Amino acid sequence: MTEAGAKKKTMALLTAALLVSCIYIFYDFLTGDSLLAYMDVGTDTYDQYLMHYQTIINHLREGSFSLWDFNNGYGINMYSLNMFDPFLMLLYACGVLFGAESIYNLLVYVHILRIVLAGLAVYGFLSCFFLSERSKLIASYIYALCGYMVVWGQHYQFGTLLVLLPLLLMMAEKALKKPRWYLGVTLMCGVCAIDALYFSYMQFIVLGVYFLLRIAWRERLFCKKGLLTLAKAYGSMLLGIGIGLINLLPSGNAILNVSGRVTAKPLTEKLLDAVGFYGMNFYRTLFKRFFSSNFEGITDYTGYSNYYESPNVFFSALFIIAAVCFLWMVLRGQLKSALVCKDASGRETYRAGGGAPFSRKQRGILLLAAAACMFVIAMPMGGLIFNGFAYPFSRHTFVCMPFFALLVAAFLQEVFENRRLCLSLFAVVSAAVLIQYLRVHVPGAEYLPRTLTLGAAGIAICLFAAVRVKNKRLQQAAAGGLLLCVAVTLCADAWYSYNERAILKKAPSEYFDELYDADVSDALAWLEETDDSFYRVEKDYTIGSRTSSLNALAQNYMPVSTYNSSLNVNLREFVKKLWPNLNIADNAHFNYANAVYDSAQASLSHVKYILSRNAALDAEGYELLKQFGDIYVYRNSGTEAFGKFYTKAVTSAEYEESADGVDREKLLTQAVICDAAGELTETDGALLQECAAQELPLEAEVNSTEQGITITLPKREGSVRLEFELYFPEDMPYVYVEYGEYYTMVRAEKEHMHVELQIPEGISTLEITCPLAYEKFATLDDIHIYETEEYDFSALSEGISFKASDKDSVVSGTAAVTEKGILLLPIAYEDGWTALVDGEEREVLQVDYGFCGVMLEPGEHEIQMVYKCPGFAAGAAGSIFFLALTAAIYTVWAVRTKRKVKKDGIVKKAEVV
């Protein structure tokens, strides 16, 4: 059989093996009620990612797509989402054709496609080396179902990395042998850069180091030839990065200039903090993760960090044996290069291990590569570098997976082709692996360690047989048995990870009935027909988990709730300083259902309508408009228009100095907090004194038990603001404060938290509980009750009108004002917004920490806020330029090469590495 035929056969076998494995792993997803989304620790799947995909689909279907989306909280730069993943584009296309809800059923098919293509991609990379087909087949199969693909692949776009990285490395390896493949390096770098800034950054680090080591392997790195080759390699990378500027520049701006991910801590301090080691809990988890992704549980996870964000390095028991034995061969100098020769037809052939022994330099490079992988996985500094110098993290372990596959394939090459193996070391390592598997206990899933133990034993037996038997058929049987044992272990581990979970189901369909509630759709359609102004809508209930905050993306309306791990840092400050109850679970979640009674902040944010299942909503300022089935539509009488006009301002420093004694809601009706208000700024402190909080001479009764705290308020007229200090025991993460029909989650961000709650007149009892059991419960102290009033923001909108827009990137309205002042617009203060007043550009002011403001003179004005994504125009121009430059460079190179061939009459064969 020809080499090409052998490769096609191997690829077909690999594809078939992976498809059969996926049918076993995903059988219930393919034929039953299970969907590839999780309602336990994997809630990001249905709570965040699937919502993101649906807002893109909804806007595309409506023809309203823009680079700003008001359906995501106060608004978000769409470059904060993952728009360009090639596999997600399949989902977007299907969603546009068949409806956003159709993507749920397609998730598993797209994921299986990722798995198969990952196996084929790494097979292509391994085919760049002198390795046997059976070695590459087994290594590629393991790679496609490795722990990173299984665990992080559940978050969809993470699985794409295991397809792109081996393709990138394959192009690099081919380019070092045949220079025409540098074009492939450029194009693959461009694809990676367009796919995602965060992950391409990691891949480019790996590619840069790989070029260094491979050039050093084949020749002296710092000689003329080595430096020239390095220049070509890095030049091709830079061209590809330039092609990807259309994504890199806008995404970089979103992360570096707006995102809350960027901390103020100096880089030197971060580097010093990362010097040293993780705690022992990390290394215990890391050790176990080499044996399985699931030995510390999933929902009841007991290891370091959480199930997903612990280091995902499982690569089968075969990898553990291979790593130890292969590195031993390297240290002992037992490895030899392949002997390359030509057959009678002039075709190159090779004999594995038939060449010269590896030189000391080459052995040193292999050991250096192994040490680099250990550094990347096991050291905080490695995690810090690959997480963009933000903080140490373990999402980056995918960068080692292609090299794990190369190591396994090289080890199997020695076993199958050269029958070389240190049996004493092999016996010790195999025994240690089996003992570790026998020691493990997984509650409720005893089959998992038992299956992995049997698989590991089978792997050891097949490796021993491959070395000891001389009959070729028996050797082939040993290779087949080895693949089968590897498949058993990987499929068992993957099946547990995907199936032993709280899985989102097609039926019962309570979640989907609520998410695609016809009553909600009717209510939203009615609002759109009857109100043509720019307004926000919220719900006083959640769909899915208590922290679900992105339902608006599927239901297609503009809320304030959001979930975004790279949330606008200015909005975080607004919520922290002025609306703390909007936070739920962590500072990445804003959830209106956690702050239903905070009517003043809702009015400021122009939450004009509430969708409720409560027929008697008792929050201040809301009146019932209409009922659709079990959905009640309430109108917020405290807000009239999207813009609010103020003639007074206080600085942030003044406010923060007096914040503890100020009636915050009252202040928000009278002034903006702005550091650039000029003559509008109140400097004598009179306004803050006027807005001082008025404490009532009332005492609350507190009853504490080991299960919770009950607060009973005295009878009074009107609403009040209740403030108290809540002291958390060391291990308690949060509590719920339940009052009336609603609750507020209070997180233990620090040892004690200051809590402020608006309590309507009809509520006299609050229950503080925690759904988890702890030896000690939180304690409560320093209770105060303050007078409040019905805060009406509607007067601030007199003469102001903003109409709904076809695209979220343009907000237009009019304002007729009689004094100089600041027009507050509750749009996230972020680079990219331009304010036009009567057609002239004006400075966009930062007001109330997180919103946009515009200074207006007396008179009637046309207002327009226009969003132009920062970096998009420059990125698009840069991508076009580098595409043209790439085409020009490679065209010139091709023409010169063709002329040289014509002149010399021959093509010089590329050197084989």
Report the CATH number that the domain containing residue 760 is assigned in CATH: 2.60.120.260
In a domain, 795, yes or no: no
CA distance 664 to 478: 75
Q: Mean pLDDT, to the nearest integer, of 374-379?
A: 96
For residue 367, the model assigns a pLDDT of 95
| Same domain for 147 and 264 | yes
- Residue 282 scores a pLDDT above 50: yes
| Same domain for 494 and 529 | no
Q: Which two tokens stand for residue 323?
A: 């790593």
Q: Do 188 and 167 contact (CB within 8 A), yes or no? A: yes
In a domain, 830, yes or no: no
Of 665, 688, 711, the position where a domain reaches its end is: 688
In a domain, 319, yes or no: yes
Of 722, 756, 787, the position where a domain reaches its end is: 787
What would the pLDDT profile of 209-241 be if each residue is shown by its tens digit? 999 999 999 878 888 898 999 999 999 999 999
What would the pLDDT profile of 6-28 be if each residue is shown by its tens digit? 999 999 999 999 999 999 999 99
Question: H or E element: which one contains 35?
Answer: strand 34-38
Q: Is 857 left (phi over 0), alpha (psi -120 to 50) or beta?
A: beta
For residue 340, the model assigns a pLDDT of 53
Q: Mean pLDDT, to the nearest integer, of 131-150?
A: 97
For residue 613, the model assigns a pLDDT of 96
Q: Annotate 52-90 with b (16+ C-beta within 10 A) or e (fewer).
A: bbbbbbbbeeeeebbbbbbbbbbbbbbbbbbbbbebbee
CA distance 542 to 517: 13
CA distance 871 to 499: 43
- Residue 377 scores a pLDDT above 70: yes
In a domain, 895, yes or no: no
> In 3D, which of 295, 299, 273, 275 has the Cα closest to residue 284?
295
What would the pLDDT profile of 305-318 be if each residue is shown by its tens digit? 899 999 999 999 99
Cis, peptide link before residue 714, omega less than 30° from 0:
no
Q: Mean pLDDT, to the nearest integer, of 567-592?
A: 92
| Same domain for 647 and 625 | yes
For residue 1, the model assigns a pLDDT of 66
In a domain, 815, yes or no: no
Q: Mean pLDDT, to the nearest integer, of 652-660?
A: 92
What single letter denotes the amino acid at residue 816? Answer: A
CA distance 86 to 722: 51
| Same domain for 474 and 428 | yes
| Same domain for 325 and 210 | yes
Q: Mean pLDDT, to the nearest integer, of 562-578?
A: 92
| Same domain for 467 and 596 | no
- Residue 339 scores a pLDDT above 60: no
* Count of domains observed in the chain: 3
For residue 260, the model assigns a pLDDT of 57
Angle (CA) 254-258-262 rounded to 5° is: 100
| Same domain for 140 and 108 | yes
In a domain, 655, yes or no: yes
For residue 346, the model assigns a pLDDT of 53
In a domain, 358, yes or no: no
- Residue 301 scores a pLDDT above 70: yes
CA distance 749 to 743: 18
Q: Mean pLDDT, to the nearest integer, of 806-810?
A: 94
| Same domain for 296 and 152 | yes
| Same domain for 643 and 570 | yes
A 10 A CB-CB count for 891 gives: 10
pTM: 0.93
Looking at every residue in the chain, the average pLDDT score rounds to: 92
CA distance 152 to 81: 17
| Same domain for 683 and 720 | no
Percentage, residues of the chain above pLDDT 70:
96
| Same domain for 559 and 483 | no
For residue 349, the model assigns a pLDDT of 58
CA distances from 849 to 66, 578, 836 (A): 25, 9, 21
- Residue 343 scores a pLDDT above 60: no
DSSP state of 255: I
Order of strands across the sheet with 851-856? Answer: 644-646, 821-828, 851-856, 845-847
Question: Positive or negative, the Cα torsion across 202, 50, 561, 821?
Answer: positive
Q: Mean pLDDT, to the nearest integer, of 95-99?
A: 95
Percentage, residues of the chain above pLDDT 90:
79
For residue 910, the model assigns a pLDDT of 39
In a domain, 771, yes or no: yes
For residue 913, the model assigns a pLDDT of 36
CA distance 799 to 859: 10
- Residue 147 scores a pLDDT above 90: yes
* 610 vs 255: which has the higher pLDDT: 610
- Residue 908 scores a pLDDT above 50: no
- Residue 907 scores a pLDDT above 90: no
Q: Mean pLDDT, to the nearest integer, of 393-404?
A: 96
What would the pLDDT profile of 821-880 be if each residue is shown by its tens digit? 999 999 999 999 999 999 999 999 999 999 999 999 999 999 999 999 999 999 999 999
> In 3D, which of 281, 182, 159 has the Cα closest to residue 229?
182
| Same domain for 105 and 249 | yes
| Domain extent at residue 237 | 3-32+82-341+373-503
Q: Mean pLDDT, to the nearest integer, of 247-261?
A: 82
- Residue 762 scores a pLDDT above 90: no
Q: Annotate 545-573 with b (16+ C-beta within 10 A) or e (fewer).
A: ebbbbbbbbbbbbbbbbbbbebbbbbbbb
Q: Work out the widest C-alpha separation in the chain, in whole angstroms.
A: 104
Of 658, 688, 718, the position where a domain reaches its end is: 688
